[in-house]
Structure 1
């Protein structure tokens, strides 16, 4: 089994497995054939002994006084060879010559009826005792013992054994070679499909194997490869989109840092001017860090197998206090709703809600509300404001990267906050939608319950 597992090719393993299975079956069939042949040859030898004994017994006459008279037919050399005739235990006729020890074995059979025995001396002989009935058939007057050499029969059996072994070896070699040939031809389309799939996956080609006529196994293999290629293509598109969005969003703060650095180095500035430039550079750098953290969180959340956990309204209260501390002039954030455990980590939950709160704070007039409810095994968080709401013509592209409803409002972002928040929510197993129309905007964040 270790050698079987050491074979790395599927063709080799299948061929070896077929060889082992065939060897077991052929060994069983060869053994059964030779056993059956051996029994058949022994039965033939017994038939010869019995027939000769009956023929010899027909030439023996038992008198009323118990004496046996042997009538000698013409040309009885065939009957006399290997034949003993006993009256009681006394031999009255014996073959001219017999192997050593065969006479004693024949003597032991005198007086028996219908008994077979094998000689214990050199050579292989089989003997048979046939009774000679007395007149009236009430007693056994004598015994005819016949013998036959088993050497011809055993020679036939040995020849058959050697022939069957040679035939089995040739058959196994043929089975092994044919199995390797058939498996190689059967796997050739699989190897071609695998190579084609690898080539397509490297370049992101849109080609697929499709549902053209193939054997059932290859059709299933092609379908699975197509599904895998679709997943790889989706991952590639996602990575490309993420890189494009990252570069797009980072362009604005990076341009601001470059401009402020240029402005500082061109001529001497006052302390206030330098402080303002440093603050602008720090703000742009913080924005860049927030963007990078959001995208990295989305990537880690999408690939994570173990979700985090946090509890509402604890996260919402902390965000409300943070908003009040950082933006003292902005409308206060009010937290409402049930206490719900969410199956997402605190950091990811915060990164989902912060862009929504920034958006609400930008347009709110008097109030911002965070409300949490549990609905059918899902946690739903609503972020609302009492601002002008989302323009009708902008709702279809609300979550598209780089889109802003009011580009002239003085906000220096690039319109990626809502897009990143939705991507992060979906990576965590939830979603973000615009809940309903009307005065102000109301976003619904759906997250799994922890």
Structure 2
């Protein structure tokens, strides 16, 4: 049955399910009908036997000597057929030409009262024994046995059984065909909506289905499809915007590399000029590499089934030590917090935290504080500095690619660090936000970034 119902289409499954349920119900009805019919025919046969026995007993008189006298009414062939009359166990009258088995079965009923019995053989019959009693004393003095062939009743039962089975098969076939037609017609709007949604998602159209004027089920489906199209459109817009902004930002270091290369090859330069050009080329290439590496890490993190695991406090200490060696003039970084593990790799966590540490070192007046703790089932990492903080009018644009609070601050960054860090954090199942200095006591007067990462 399970294989039968395992159709590839919803229409086929519904039709087969309806067929199975209908088959079960029709089988129950057919069985009940035939059992009821058999009981009814059984009762009719007994009524016929009882009526005939009473009619024959009315023709039997008891003589003065106690012997039974049978009156012979006119046209008594119907009464004589299948009738035995006994006085005690002696047969007074019996039908001519009866089979031996039936005659023997009737003899066994002599002297009994109100008893039914069956006779097997080539012609099965049912017999009934009716007592003939003395009107004066009520004592049984004789027995009338009547018999009726069961062939007509069984023929009727068999005909009804075959007819009900044929009718059931026809009904099941009709139910299956009608169910397929009805389900196909009912699912036609669903198929049309799915095809339209697929076409709209490919084209990025702004059209939506809407739930007005639709049945409740299709209204729910339309709402779900509209939500899916909205999410697809949002992802498409985000990817397009991100690609455009990254293309624009990558063009700047690439143009610098091209210009410096041309400047070096146009005419001879002294050693200091060559070294300055090479450093500029190396810096632009490093910027491009950081952008590309962050995007690759984000893509790998988003598609990775096993994101990895890292000890956050140990990583913060390594990053602080590496920053102190590369930037000896930068403010000191203080590492604190709990020894917790995050469910991301060291590489991904480093690319998320490094832009925050770079910004903190750049803007801090005298110190940078970093730490980690386990909070609300997630790893929380905070990066704080005592610098000027983020301007209020720039807070909304802080994580937008290519945006900088002060483009003229002498820093040659592309404005992509925080945007890529948040993008990578969200791909890993976390996020980055700027803490509100007005409500966060630990934020101080500078900037405080809070990073959430999944637990390891």
State TM-score, norm by structure 2: 0.89
Contact 1:422–1:431, Cα closer than 8 Å, also in 2: yes
Contact 1:126–1:150, Cα closer than 8 Å, also in 2: yes
Is 1:417 the equivalent of 2:420?
no
Q: How does 1:73-92 map to 2 (within 5 A)?
A: 73-92=73-92
Task: Give 1:167's aligned residue.
Answer: 167
SS in 2 for 1:113: coil
SS in 2 for 1:101: helix
Deviations 1:61-112 (A, max 9, x none): 1235331111122222221122111122222222233345322222222222
Task: Give 1:334's aligned residue.
Answer: 333
Contact 1:316–1:370, Cα closer than 8 Å, also in 2: no
**184-193 or 270-279, which deviates more:** 270-279
Q: How does 1:260-409 map to 2 (within 5 A)?
A: 260-302=260-302, 308-328=308-328, 330-341=329-340, 343=342, 344-365=344-365, 367-372=366-371, 374=373, 376-377=375-376, 379-386=380-387, 388-391=388-391, 393-409=393-409
**111-120 or 130-139, which deviates more:** 130-139
Task: Give 1:444's aligned residue.
Answer: 449
Alignment partners' CA distance in 2, 1:78 and 1:314: 113
SS in 2 for 1:205: coil
Distance 1:66 1:235, change over 3 A: same
Contact 2:352–2:425, Cα closer than 8 Å, also in 1: yes
Q: How many residues align?
A: 447
How many Å apart are 1:40 and its aligned residue? Answer: 0.9
Distance 1:146 1:337, change over 3 A: same
Contact 2:313–2:372, Cα closer than 8 Å, also in 1: no
Alignment partners' CA distance in 2, 1:153 and 1:140: 32
SS in 1 for 2:340: strand
SS in 1 for 2:75: coil
How many Å apart are 1:291 and its aligned residue? Answer: 0.9
How many Å apart are 1:439 and its aligned residue? Answer: 9.6
SS in 1 for 2:358: helix
Alignment partners' CA distance in 2, 1:379 and 1:121: 93
Alignment partners' CA distance in 1, 2:392 and 2:112: 119
Distance 1:235 1:127, change over 3 A: same
Q: Which runs of 5+ in 2 are unaligned?
A: none
How many Å apart are 1:271 and its aligned residue? Answer: 4.6
Alignment partners' CA distance in 2, 1:77 and 1:397: 115
Task: Give 2:177's aligned residue.
Answer: 177
How many Å apart are 1:234 and its aligned residue? Answer: 2.5
How many Å apart are 1:215 and its aligned residue? Answer: 2.2
Is 1:21 the equivalent of 2:25?
no
State TM-score, norm by structure 1: 0.90
Alignment partners' CA distance in 2, 1:38 and 1:357: 92
Alignment partners' CA distance in 2, 1:210 and 1:342: 46
Contact 2:386–2:446, Cα closer than 8 Å, also in 1: yes
SS in 1 for 2:163: helix
Q: Which runs of 5+ in 1 are unaligned?
A: none
Contact 2:30–2:164, Cα closer than 8 Å, also in 1: yes
How many Å apart are 1:373 and its aligned residue? Answer: 5.8
Contact 1:252–1:413, Cα closer than 8 Å, also in 2: no
Alignment partners' CA distance in 2, 1:411 and 1:371: 23
SS in 2 for 1:126: strand
Alignment partners' CA distance in 2, 1:369 and 1:153: 104
SS in 2 for 1:148: strand
Contact 1:15–1:179, Cα closer than 8 Å, also in 2: yes
SS in 1 for 2:27: helix
How many Å apart are 1:332 and its aligned residue? Answer: 2.9
